[in-house]
């Protein structure tokens, strides 16, 4: 075995030992502290989650780097942060943002062993789980509006699933619909103040190599072409020494400038597409991308 490969193997094994032997128990303790102390006694829903996210990113050698040219996040302005979605671990970058409720896939709550722990964590942090179904849409929207009415920002991954970085999927307008629904706005007046702010994730370096503009090399972060199991993917990621992912915050969009949520989210999606996939001319739907993955077709 070559020296570099041996070092990577040792590093990966070390991360697993630390992760399962040290970090996981600490995360469980943090979740309990959030659920029983930080949330109910101090009303703080962000401090412990941010520490957890930072620890997870560090464990897998991922550094989320806030671009110095970012547009400012206006203090005191309620915001929906809309991200493009490259990998399941994208959520870890939330420690860079002000107090925000995350709209997350409820599928994770059904995982064996870790599902109930994640559900407790999500509930205590005020995150909203969604099944991405029409039947559950009204409940998801009400839960998001409730968090905004409490004065919290919201984080969305409107593609609904991770991609390979070569394209940006069509952004769902489901969450933003609440900003255009008169009944929702009447019930939750804080919705009138919300701005949409595009946030773009771009893989900058892997193992020290600059890969900006080369999404064909992003697979070691996105893992789209790898086996789909989350635990298998996490295992593979532990053997990558260092990944730098840029977080580019772009100018906020006023929903009042658009006639519908679909128009507003299309404008937000266009911001991400221009940065991540400038060659893209048409956005795939979530269903079309799932079919591509099933067929192992990753052509542009």
Predicted pLDDT at 223? 83
Q: Three-class SS of residue 82?
A: strand
DSSP 141-155: HHHHHHHHHTT-EEE
CA–CA separation, 20 and 26 (whole Å):
10
pLDDT at 242 over 70: yes
**Tens of pLDDT along 163-180?**
999 999 999 999 999 999
Q: Three-class SS of residue 180?
A: coil
Going by their DSSP bridges, the two strands 243-249 and 195-206 should be labelled as antiparallel
**Tens of pLDDT along 125-157?**
889 988 878 878 889 999 999 999 999 999 999
pTM of this prediction exceeds 0.95: no
Tokens describing residue 214: 């080369």
CA–CA separation, 10 and 16 (whole Å):
10
């Amino acid at each position: 075995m070559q020296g570099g490969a041996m070092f990577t193997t040792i590093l990966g094994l070390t991360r697993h030992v630390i992760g399962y032997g040290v970090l996981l128990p600490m995360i469980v303790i943090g979740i309990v502290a959030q659920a029983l102390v930080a949330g109910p006694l101090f009303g703080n829903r962000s401090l412990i989650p941010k520490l957890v996210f930072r620890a997870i990113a560090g464990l897998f050698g991922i550094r989320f780097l806030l671009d110095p040219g970012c547009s400012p996040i206006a203090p005191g302005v309620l915001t929906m942060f809309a991200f493009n979605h490259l990998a399941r671990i994208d959520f870890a970058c939330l420690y860079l943002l002000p107090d925000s409720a995350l709209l997350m896939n409820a599928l994770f709550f059904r995982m064996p062993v870790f599902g109930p722990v994640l559900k407790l964590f999500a509930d205590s942090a005020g995150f909203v789980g969604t099944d991405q179904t029409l039947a559950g849409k009204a409940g998801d929207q009400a839960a998001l509006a409730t968090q905004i009415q409490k004065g919290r920002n919201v984080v969305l991954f409107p593609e609904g699933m991770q991609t390979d970085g070569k394209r940006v999927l069509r952004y769902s307008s489901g969450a933003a619909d609440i900003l255009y629904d008169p009944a929702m706005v009447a019930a939750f007046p804080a919705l009138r103040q919300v701005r949409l702010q595009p946030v773009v994730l771009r893989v900058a370096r892997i193992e020290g190599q600059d890969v900006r503009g080369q999404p064909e090399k992003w697979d070691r972060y996105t893992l789209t072409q790898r086996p789909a199991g989350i635990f298998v993917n996490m295992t593979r990621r532990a053997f990558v020494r260092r990944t730098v992912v840029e977080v580019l915050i772009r100018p906020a969009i006023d929903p009042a400038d658009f006639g519908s949520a679909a128009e507003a989210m299309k404008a937000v999606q266009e911001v991400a597409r221009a940065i991540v996939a400038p060659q893209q001319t048409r956005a795939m739907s979530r269903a079309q991308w799932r079919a591509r993955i099933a067929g192992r077709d990753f052509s542009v």
